Every structure is written in C-alpha cells, then in structure tokens.
Amino acid sequence: MNNVIREQFPILQQEINGHPLVYLDSAATSQKPRVVIEALQHYYERDNANVHRGVHTLGSRATDAYEGAREKVAKFIHARSTQEIIFTRGTTTALNMIASSYARSVCGEGDEIVLTPMEHHSNLIPWQQVAKATGATLKYIALQPDGSVDLAEVEKVVTARTKIVAIGYVSNVMGVVNPVKKIAEIAHRNGAIIVVDGAQSTPHMAVDVQDLDCDFYAFSGHKMCGPTGIGVLYGKKALLEAMEPVEFGGEMIDDVGLYESNWKELPWKFEGGTPIIAGAVGLAAAIDFLEEVGMDNIERHERKLAAYAMDRLSEIEGITLYGPRHREVGLVTFNLAEVHPHDVATVLDASGIAIRAGHHCCQPLMRWLEVNSTARASFYLYNTENDVDRLVSALIQTKEYFGDAT
C-alpha cells in the first residue's frame, strides 16, 4: 500500500500533540475513507426516507440503497442468498441473536457448547447465559503454548453431546487465525453447528462462508472502513427460518391481529423497526472501497507489515510479544517490562501514536497469559513501515523514560 491509499482517509491528515497521527488501533475500529463519508452525506442530503413503506420517490431510493447494500454484503462473503443476510448493530448484537433465539431453543441439560479461552467477551458471555438458562455445559478447547488451536484438541473436546461450537476466526489479542473450516468439519461430523465471530477477519482477508461451511457468521462494519452501528449476521437459510425473532414491532410483521401475529419472510423478520439504513449505505460504500483495493492485496500488505513489526519490536530489550511469531494479520500484542500498558499508551499518545491498552475484552485470555493487561498495535491498509518505525522509536523512548524515573 502507498500514500495514495492513506490520503483517502481524512482523519489521518492531522497532528496529535504536535506530531503526525499514527493510528494503530484498527482492531478496535478502523478509520473511514472519504468515499464512505461522502456516501453517508449523499444519503442524508438526497435520499433520506424510511424503507419498505412509502411509495414516494425518496422512499424508493432509500429502499433500493438499503436492499442494494444487502446484495453487496451477500456477494462480499459469498452467501447463497440475500435472505441469509441480516443487518444488525454489530457483531455483538448478531452473536446475542444466535444465542437468544437459536441456542436457547436447541440446548438442554447435558448438551455442550464448545469455546476457546481466547474468545472476545461478545462470543463468551452470551454462551454463559445460554448455559445458565438451559443447563448446557461450557467446554473449552485448550490452547497451545503460542496461543494457537490444535485440531487434535478440537477432536477431544467436541463430542456427540456438542450442540454449538463458537469460535473467533481471528484473535483480537494474539492475531491467531483459527482453522475454522476444519473445525466446522469436526463440528458437523458430531452433529453440532459452528458459530464464527468474524469481527477481526472480515476486514483483513477474503471470506467465503460457503467454503468455510459455517452455520452462522457475524461481523461489524466499523472495523472494515464502514460506519459504526451497522453489522451483519449471516446464517444458513434453514437455520434462520427455524429461529424466532428477538425483537418485535413494525417492519418484521406480515399480519397482526389483536391476539396473534405472524412474521415476514427472511431476512426482514429479524429487522424490527426502522432499520440501520444509513449504516447499510455506508457499509456498501466500504465494501466497494475494499474490493477496489483488493482483499488479497490488503492481506499481503498486513502480513508484510506484521512481519516487519515483529522483527523491529523484537529488537527492544525487555519487551514481551504474545502469540505466534509468524503473523497472518496485522496485529501485535506486547508488554514492556516494568511499565504498565496504560502508561505505555499514554506516553505514545504524547507522540501522536494511538494504540490500545487493557484486557481487550478478553479477560480469560489475559489470565491464560498470566497478565492483567497488554498493549496492542493493530495495522490496516493505510499503515506503513514508517508507522512501525515511529512506534518502535517511541517505545524505546518510553522504556528510557520509565527507566530514568525509577
């Protein structure tokens, strides 16, 4: 990637604390290219209306844009049909929908839900609640010393009692890319379904839900150059048709009586109320942008940048790097000896460098790593080797500063 890409992101053209901004927190949320910002502006200035209701021109335009976005998402992740694409507020909402509607109807006493200790809280707490409500048991796939998943461990944990395997495609802490296609094979062989948290994978690599053969797949727009407040739940049609809605009201109904009602067909039965129209428009623009750059190009760029970052960071004395040495996505998590991650992030911010510090919504994984928190630098298509160099230089200065202070 080059400066032509970077220049398309207006927010990156500023200084923070007197220094050019280096944004290394894309795993939390990505920045937005000008075309996405303009798409949102155009919608609100020219097409703003509610969808599926009015027959006037603005209503038709808005409906076409909203449903056109659904078609674009379906093609982007290779879903069989737009009926398998449900717009949500984000990954968290999508995962909670699966847990509340599907899981609670199929799980019971003695059934098993299989997870890993690396799961984001959004792909862990909903399953805890399902287990409490149904009597199902949570089981965990043991991690390897580098934080990866061994398929032999999956074979041990997934049994004929397993109803659901829920796993993140990519760890938001260690950058591990899990073998979800092979895990799906194991799950299906045992009569279970697989739920994939795609929040950290969809922005960074080509995704084909049919090739993965996942039963459900969830992701967020804001991590892939789109707006906040829009996400997607993909589900195989037969599973979605068997599920009950989790929100009730306008738009998701077919007929309402005083005592009974019935629902619209897929996907609308899961989209009660005024949907996230502008968010869908912005997500469609983000997909266009990413496809123009090329998902394969983005993936190659991030791998190269991650390898460079791992090499450069390894030069710093007293640094601990977490996760596999070889990275397939642009994310590195680390700690500096004797310096709290929050202090690291604060000092870096003074140099115009934005990273994340904390438990990253992965407290069980922090305990597995035997730390309370870590620092994390996450890269995207707009980052460069110069950004890595500035990060390394600032970390060396941070280490020296706290060394002098003690």
pLDDT digits (tens, 9 = 90+) for 97-133: 999 999 999 999 999 999 999 999 999 999 999 999 9
Do residue 280 and residue 355 come from a single domain? no
Rg (C-alpha) for the chain, rounded Å, is 22
Measured between alpha carbons, how far is 302 from 204 in angstroms, rounded to an integer? Answer: 8
The residue among 264, 292, 320 that closes a domain is 292
* Cα 233 from Cα 226, distance rounded (Å): 16
Of how many residues is the chain composed? 406
Residue 404: its pLDDT value, please?
Answer: 54
Strand locations in 61-145 (E): 85-88, 112-115, 137-140
| Residue ranges making up the domain that contains 99 | 36-292
Domain final residue pick, 292, 321, 338: 292
Residues 332 and 392 both lie in one domain: yes
Domain with residue 189: its CATH number is 3.40.640.10
| Cα distance between residue 376 and residue 354, in whole Å | 10
Instruction: Give the count of domains, the chain.
Output: 2
Give the residue numbers marked as catalytic: 361
Question: Helix or strand or coil: residue 173?
Answer: coil
pLDDT, one tens digit per residue, over 267-279 is 999 999 999 999 9
Please give the pLDDT value at position 1: 63
Q: Are residues 303 and 235 part of one domain?
A: no
| Same domain flag for 43 and 142 | yes
Give the model's confidence band at 225: pLDDT under 50 very low, under 70 low, under 90 confident, else very high: very high
**Same-domain pairing of 260 and 383:** no
Residue whose tokens read 């049909």: 81
- Residues 40 and 24 both lie in one domain: no
- Last-in-domain residue among 258, 292, 326: 292
- Exposed e or buried b per residue across 133-160, where buried means at least 16 C-beta atoms within 10 angstroms of its C-beta: ebebeebbbebeeebbbeeeebeebbee
Residue 21's CATH number: 3.90.1150.10
Residues 193 and 319 in one domain: no
Which H or E run includes 258? none
Residues 316, 399, single domain; the answer is yes
Instruction: Report pLDDT for 53.
Output: 79
Global model pTM greater than 0.95? yes
Question: Are 216 and 342 members of one domain?
Answer: no
Residues 164 and 272 in one domain: yes
